Amino acid sequence: MANWAKLQEDLTGLKVVKRARNGIHFDKGGGQILANFSGKPCHFLDGKIWKPIDTKLLVAGDGYYGCPHSPVKISKDGRVKVDGSDYQQFTELPSAKAGVLDGDRIVRTFSFGEQRMWITEDGYRSEIELTRIPTLAEARKLITSESGTFDKAYLKSLTTARDSSGDNVIDDNVHTITSLSAFRTWLAKAKYPVVIDPDFTANTNIYNISGGSSVYATARSTSFSYGTAAGGSIFIGQRWNDPNYVIYRAYLYFDTSSIGAGSTVTQANYSGGIVANYASDAYDVEVVGQDWSEWLGDITNATKRETAYDGSLSGTSAGVWINTGTSKTRRTKYTSANLTTTIITVAGTTYISLRSSLDVAGTAPDSDERIYIFEADEATYTDCRPILSVTYTAGGVPKQYLHYARLRG
């Protein structure tokens, strides 16, 4: 994705009245302002001015490619560095050719695959796609090496490999790379193509909490693990995975502080897209206004995780995002009906969770009833990113709004 903020301008066709790190505000007319919020930064400060983040790669004098908003730099030979630190990573690749610039990506090809490298709004993303099983020597060259001290501003995700079983998203077919021998053993059983991802990012705004047990009621009331978008598996729904029931609830947050204290919210909507829909029984995906910030501040704390998990189930629905029976089209943006406006925090962060109505009703699954949703840094189907749209009247009308109002008058 080159420029998410510009995409929003093109989609709305409205005048911009305010920009913020994670949001862009438009003049709807009649004193109404529409703000679209992303889970990832969409603007960066250039001096005192917020400017749209554009991830199109530009070459520097040292041969590395970068973007004005980011200290991350990438090279056509597969090297990655972070300005201001001594950290570097490098993926040799088997028989790799020099990379080719392709818009906002560098693509490096080899005899049985390719690596796609790009700079995100707040980090770095890589996908190494394999079309066949590598030899031991080839597999060794697929594991990324690192040197220096990793920059504390970023969160390094575990390097995983995912095969193409189950539309390339079933979590049973994901391998976390810890050793060459274990990686090679997994590759021998994998279904190709396989994608490897040595990534890092500043943060994630979307999480999963899972509960599981051979007793359905226990699975609904007892969490056992969590995952992040960096792990690539954000599920919502339920699953019968003999001999256990597994429940999945998703947790998101959006920085809505740029709306401003004293503003009045008149409409709120959530939108996003589906990577895959496995739901054998149709259900509503409900939006819950739920402050789970205590767990976010201490993400490894099992007690706080459990509080967030239970709070999603017990919370009051603010509305329905989609119904899985009618919303089956993958890679398509779906927007909710109007949500309860009280879930929006106008001078802070808005926290929500997503849950299955079958989970709420206590209807036990007899198969796979999950959907898999796009992440906040989705680079290809960018309109499918999770977005919170808020229409409001400002408590204190911003100067930009007055300026455009005068022009309109």
Q: Where are the domains of the chain?
A: 4-41+203-393, 58-201
CA–CA distance from 141 to each of 64, 180, 183 (Å)? 22, 10, 12
Contacts of 322 (CB under 8 A, 6+ apart): 274, 284, 285, 334, 336
Average pLDDT of the residues in 255-280: 95
Indicate if the pLDDT at residue 96 is higher than 60: yes
Q: CA–CA separation, 403 vs 361, rounded Å?
A: 51
> What burial letters (b/e) apply to 57-85, b meaning 16+ CB within 10 Å?
beeeeeebbbbebbebbbbbbbebbbeee
Indicate if the pLDDT at residue 166 is higher than 60: no
Mean pLDDT score of the chain, rounded to an integer?
90
Indicate if the pLDDT at residue 228 is higher than 90: no
Indicate if the pLDDT at residue 165 is higher than 90: no
Task: Tell which phi-psi region holds residue 189, choosing left (phi > 0), alpha (psi between -120 and 50) or beta.
Answer: alpha
Q: Is 94:138 a contact under the CB 8 Å cutoff?
A: yes
Average pLDDT of the residues in 130-143: 95
Q: Is 118:200 a contact under the CB 8 Å cutoff?
A: no
Contacts of 191 (CB under 8 A, 6+ apart): 163, 164, 165, 173
Highest mean pLDDT among 19-33, 95-109, 395-409: 19-33
With bands split at pLDDT 50, 70 and 90, how would you rate the model's confidence at 197?
A: confident
Indicate if the pLDDT at residue 171 is higher than 50: no
Tell me what pLDDT residue 160 has: 83
Cis peptide before 386 (omega within 30 of 0): no
Q: Is 369:238 a contact under the CB 8 Å cutoff?
A: yes
Nearest to 196 by CA among 182, 177, 215: 177
Q: Is 298:308 a contact under the CB 8 Å cutoff?
A: no
Q: What is the pLDDT of residues 311-336, one digit of tens each?
A: 999 999 999 999 999 878 888 999 99
Whose structure tokens read 């300026």? 403
**pTM for this predicted structure:** 0.88
More confident residue, 289 or 103: 289
Indicate if the pLDDT at residue 403 is higher than 60: no
Tell me what pLDDT residue 377 has: 81
Other Cβ atoms within 10 Å of 316 Cβ, number: 11
Q: CA–CA separation, 86 vs 90, rounded Å?
A: 13
Tokens of 404: 């455009």
With bands split at pLDDT 50, 70 and 90, how would you rate the model's confidence at 1?
A: low
